[in-house]
Amino acid sequence: MTADGVDLDRLAAAAVPEPLLARVRGARRVLAVSHENPDADTIGAAIAICLLVEAQGGTATAVCSDPVPPLYAFLAGTERFRQDPEPGADYDLLVLADCASEDRVGAVAARHPELFARLPRATVDHHASNSAPGEADWVDPASAATCELLTLLAVRLGVPLTTADGALAAALMAGIVMDTATFAHPNATPRTLAVSAALVAAGAPLSDISRRLYRTKPDAQLRLFGRVLDRLATSADRRVIWSALLEADLEATGSISAHSEGIIDLLAQSEAAEVAMLFKEGRDGSTRLSVRTKAGGVDATALCGVWGGGGHLRAAGATIPLPLDAAVDAARSEAERLAGAVVR
């Protein structure tokens, strides 16, 4: 299998760990779990895991602690997600898709601790903060998306990318488009482009996926963006920019939490800021922090790691156990310290 002269079989053979390959090949009843507050990469990866297992004669269940946001409803396979495993199912493998840590699985793991502890496990992820130690875990921070890795796994398993009338290719393409901003981010490598070319050749509608993820928004979401952008703030030296999303914003605009997707990327377009932050007010007294940083500057995982968060060099997140105003003060202080050390 080639894409623009690149041998994907060779790339897959060099990249996919043998223990993961053996574990997926040997599984008959797989529980594929995505992270909470799901995005296109974790959704596409979980769908892909299910389709790969089923292509080999097994069965699989896709699970996410939170409902799939309406934004991703156009992807075939999102309807199969459950918020809990099937009762009484005799699972023989748990696969965590795009989870930077076990905590990112969310409430479903807390509801089924014995099942999650008992099952053999494999993790497929691309977050630099992931320290999964299992022999069947595949964590590759150099990958632009977990769906990039799942594409290589499909090639290694010999499962055609055209599987399920193109649903496999579309799900994988959506994850890559989301995590590269349609190849605009510096994480898109030659391998990312080769994998994507193969997915397009298999029928993935790249243009339509990009339009749906980045250029299509309901009116309620646009009103939400306006409220959040209206309270934009910057540090005195303009190296740090931030805003906050309040619970009241959702009610006032008729939007849902998932509609906040994309706000942080708008903030990151600031010409001067080294660090962009979005704070989301939580109902439990905590605050969710999303961070974006400029290339060659602040490590986003270093900032979010102060509160046990993680992610990527340029994009990371954390939950700060403080109410909104206190969380803003704490994160702003740390961000200004880190941004102040950047020399251009």
Q: At which residue do the structure tokens 């630099």 appear? A: 128
Rounded distance between C-alpha atoms, residue 202 and residue 23, angstroms = 26
pLDDT band at 5 (very low <50, low <70, confident <90, very high): very low
- How far from 263 is each of 155, 212, 217, 232, 267, CA to CA, in Å? 35, 16, 12, 11, 7
Q: Which two tokens stand for residue 70?
A: 């309406």
Distance from the Cα of residue 91 to its chain's centroid: 25
> Beta-carbon neighbour count of residue 88 at 10 Å?
5
Rounded distance between C-alpha atoms, residue 147 and residue 179, angstroms = 9
Average pLDDT over residues 293-318: 94
Pick one of 3.30.1490.20, 3.20.20.70, 3.10.310.30, 3.10.640.10 as the CATH number of 219-340. Answer: 3.10.310.30
Rounded distance between C-alpha atoms, residue 53 and residue 55, angstroms = 5
Long-range contacts at 99-102 (CB < 8 A, ≥ 24 apart) = 99/33, 99/34, 99/35, 99/42, 99/123, 99/125, 99/130, 100/35, 100/125, 100/127, 100/129, 100/130, 100/310, 100/311, 101/129, 101/130, 101/131, 101/310
Each residue's pLDDT tens digit, 177-227:
999 999 998 899 999 999 999 999 999 999 999 999 999 999 999 999 999
Domain extents in the chain: 2-214, 219-340
CATH 3.40.1190.20 fits 2-214, yes or no: no
Each residue's pLDDT tens digit, 270-291:
999 999 999 999 989 999 999 9
Rounded distance between C-alpha atoms, residue 293 and residue 315, angstroms = 7
Q: Name the phi and psi angles at 238, rounded to 5.
A: 65, 15
> Beta-carbon neighbour count of residue 2 at 10 Å?
13
Distance from the Cα of residue 87 to its chain's centroid: 27
Rounded distance between C-alpha atoms, residue 317 and residue 320, angstroms = 10
Rounded distance between C-alpha atoms, residue 30 and residue 217, angstroms = 34
Each residue's pLDDT tens digit, 239-255:
999 999 999 999 999 99
